[in-house]
Structure 1
Amino acid sequence: MVPDAIPFDQVRRVLIIKLRHHGDVLLTSPVIAVLKAHYPHLEIDALVYSDTAPMLAAHPGLSQLHMTQRKGAGLLEEWALFRRLRARRYDVLIHLTDSSRGAWLARLLKPRWAIAGQANKPGFWRKSFTHLYPIIGGNRRHTVEIHLDALRRAGLYPDVDERKLVLVPGEAATTKVQALLAQHGLAEREFIQIHPASRWLFKCWPANQMAALINQLTAAGETVVLTGAPDEKERALVAEIEQQLTKPVINLVGQLNLKELAALTQAARLFIGMDSVPMHIAAAMQTPTVALFGPSGDIEWAPWQVARQVLTSSHPCRPCGKDGCGGGKRSECLDAISVDQVAQATRHLLHLQRTS
């Protein structure tokens, strides 16, 4: 036990700050779950960007979800947020990024204890927190475990079965997806969901290879449902894929919000996709997942605690985290993953389902 462990049995309210992208926010959900499981009396709040709020909304361990704008928030809006946070009188603040905003909030909200990663920051940062924990980077530790290190530093050690992702689609999303499936004559576990795109194009597998994979699946009698964001680049990639298909698939690109996407993924037999938010959603929904990784770190970001097949290449330069080779938006390490490799991984997970 650490000598300066936080006595959570004496704590009333905790604020968790995660001002980052959607996937990052979803990967904080085990922190809330672990705290609530060990100390049910706690009121646990979170502060996130408003567009990422669906990742934590309706989390059963959460008391209040505070939101702020990613860009363009005015002084009045910021002041109103600060007053709401201050009124909660937090005993513990847990800051899970290296943004200076968390350090300022730790100083201004004056919790008794404040936890953050031991980032390469000046004295202002270090003096803003009572507890600092080491960040194990370089694709050596999963992001969920790095988040949970904040609790370990405070003296709370989670069991393995407590660390699952938590995402609640909600009744409205589930009802809409059930209607969509009925419209297309599908039942749960009767289709494979493929999400070919990512918000970052350098994380995407080439369209011709994805089309060849889908043709193999549909030739074997599988039903494929394509999903994607309403972004024009994602639509264009899916259109390029569809042009090369030999049999029709169900295209739901741009038709689902994040909660509805989670409900659809929960109904899918299998998920195939890139390192992306939908991949993390699949893990949260416990849908077996085939994930393709190129420049991003597969150890750091792999599908968490779910039946999975993670595919990478043997390029010695990966994971580089760059915007494609030479900044050219195309990643040769992804191109090198063959259609047969992905097909084999898919067959393996489908076989496990049939024999389980």
Structure 2
Amino acid sequence: MPLFHSPPKSLCFLRLSAIGDVCHAVAAVQAVQRHWPETKITWIIGKVEAQLLNGLEGVELIIFDKKAGYAGMKAVWQQLKGRRFDALIHMQLALRASLLTVGIKATYKVGFNKQRAKEGQWLFTNKKINDVNSQHVLDSFLSFVEYLGVPKQSPKWTMPIAPSDLDWVNQRIPLQQNVLVISPAASKDERNWVTERYAQVADHASEQGYQVILCGSPSEREIQLGQQISQRMTHPVTNLIGQTSLKQLLALLQRADVVLAPDSGPAHMATTQGTPVIGLYAHSNPKRTGPYLSLNTTVSVYEQCLQQQYGKSSSELPWGTRVKGAELMNQITLDDVIEQFDILTTINKG
């Protein structure tokens, strides 16, 4: 039975981070907006993630600065003082996020099923979604809104991109130019692919007439990675690592014909734009965290890594089992990635 039989007046979503998961959550929020256009929606979100979603139509963003600790929580509670929501949709498992919900008033506080809730999340909610079967994180997020009463539907995204951000991209890429964007860095270095192979794929794309663009954050490790890839290439590359805002990056990913990325936020940002992604996976299951619309072009050695480490397949292990090791991404071959690039670019030409 759905939680609501008529449109609720107000809903509060809580998903603070990370960029990829916030992109998944947008699909759930916008499914609600399409079904219940009159429902007022508030979203409590992290500071960095809010930079990406600023201007999201019909959504009030309340920023939680996790670095501010308890003072950051009090700031959120102060902004919501005197307000009560029909439901709080608690999509974050971290204890810090659960503590933040204590000061938010809602008739229902909806969380993960106890089987999937971690860090005691079930103690902070009075309703649990039924879903324990969804493999992909995005499907589990959509299960929240289905529980509320929104019919099951395929995810769609309308992300806010300003004309100035589109202009920024157009100034850097000729109109008819084919583009491969490589976002080489994952959140941890061990989840990055081999630097030399990034360079070889980039050279291959250049030889097919593609403009190759590197993108990423301004962190020192990402800037160094971009420089190392550039130095190993024999063809020119446009290195924009550390030079884009999140909105400009989103506009760039929209303009790309193909995106190559490990398990990282830009892979999911590209998915919101309908841009094909070649995802590179070894440590986590792409069926759970891969680019949702590009799972068929993802290059994964996850299953073989599981066998090497546990002697079992993903179907025999707990949902979300991760594999550990600094060299696992080496098992992704250059040929496998080039094969996916050639398949996608043949489709694009067609």
Which TM-score band applies after superposition, normalised by the shorter structure? 0.7 to 0.9
Runs of 4+ in structure 1 deviating by more than 6 angstroms, as ranges, are 121-124
1:308 Cα offset (Å)? 5.5
1:130 Cα offset (Å)? 3.0
- Normalised to the residue count of structure 2, the TM-score between the two structures is 0.87
Change in Cα spacing, 1:343 to 1:118, as seen in structure 2 (3 Å) is same
Instruction: Give 2:338's aligned residue.
Output: 343
1:156 Cα offset (Å)? 2.6
Instruction: Give 1:198's aligned residue.
Output: 186
Instruction: Give 2:43's aligned residue.
Output: 46
Percent identity between matched residues is 21
Instruction: Give 1:235's aligned residue.
Output: 223
1:78 Cα offset (Å)? 3.5
1:273 Cα offset (Å)? 1.3
Instruction: Give 1:315's aligned residue.
Output: 304
Instruction: Give 2:137's aligned residue.
Output: 143
Instruction: Give 2:317's aligned residue.
Output: none
CA distance in 2, matches of 1:33, 1:125: 24
Instruction: Give 1:19's aligned residue.
Output: 16
1:170 Cα offset (Å)? 2.0
1:83 Cα offset (Å)? 2.2
Q: Is the CA contact 2:92–2:98 (under 8 Å) kept in the aligned structure 1? A: no
Q: Secondary structure in 2 aligned to 1:14?
A: strand
Instruction: Give 2:4's aligned residue.
Output: 6
Change in Cα spacing, 1:118 to 1:189, as seen in structure 2 (3 Å) is farther
CA distance in 2, matches of 1:109, 1:220: 54
Instruction: Give 2:126's aligned residue.
Output: 130
Q: Secondary structure in 1 aligned to 2:306?
A: coil
* Counterpart selection for 1:90 from 85, 88, 94: 85
Aligned length: 336
* Counterpart selection for 1:281 from 261, 269, 293: 269
Instruction: Give 2:74's aligned residue.
Output: 79
Instruction: Give 1:30's aligned residue.
Output: 27
* Counterpart selection for 1:66 from 62, 67, 74: 62
- Normalised to the residue count of structure 1, the TM-score between the two structures is 0.86
Q: Secondary structure in 2 aligned to 1:224?
A: strand
* Counterpart selection for 2:287 from 293, 299, 308: 299
* Counterpart selection for 2:172 from 177, 180, 193: 180
CA distance in 1, matches of 2:265, 2:119: 34
In the alignment, residue 241 of structure 1 is paired with which amino acid? Answer: I
| Cα RMSD after superposing both structures | 2.5
CA distance in 2, matches of 1:123, 1:253: 35
Change in Cα spacing, 1:141 to 1:336, as seen in structure 2 (3 Å) is same
CA distance in 2, matches of 1:115, 1:124: 14
1:238 Cα offset (Å)? 1.8
1:101 Cα offset (Å)? 4.7
Structure 1 residue ranges without an equivalent (≥5): none
Instruction: Give 1:57's aligned residue.
Output: 54
1:39 Cα offset (Å)? 0.6
Structure 2 residue ranges without an equivalent (≥5): 308-313, 315-320
Q: Is the CA contact 1:26–1:166 (under 8 Å) kept in the aligned structure 2? A: no
CA distance in 2, matches of 1:336, 1:17: 37
CA distance in 1, matches of 2:207, 2:228: 19
Change in Cα spacing, 1:225 to 1:26, as seen in structure 2 (3 Å) is same
Q: Once structures 1 and 2 are overlaid, which stretch shifts more, 147-156 or 225-234? A: 147-156
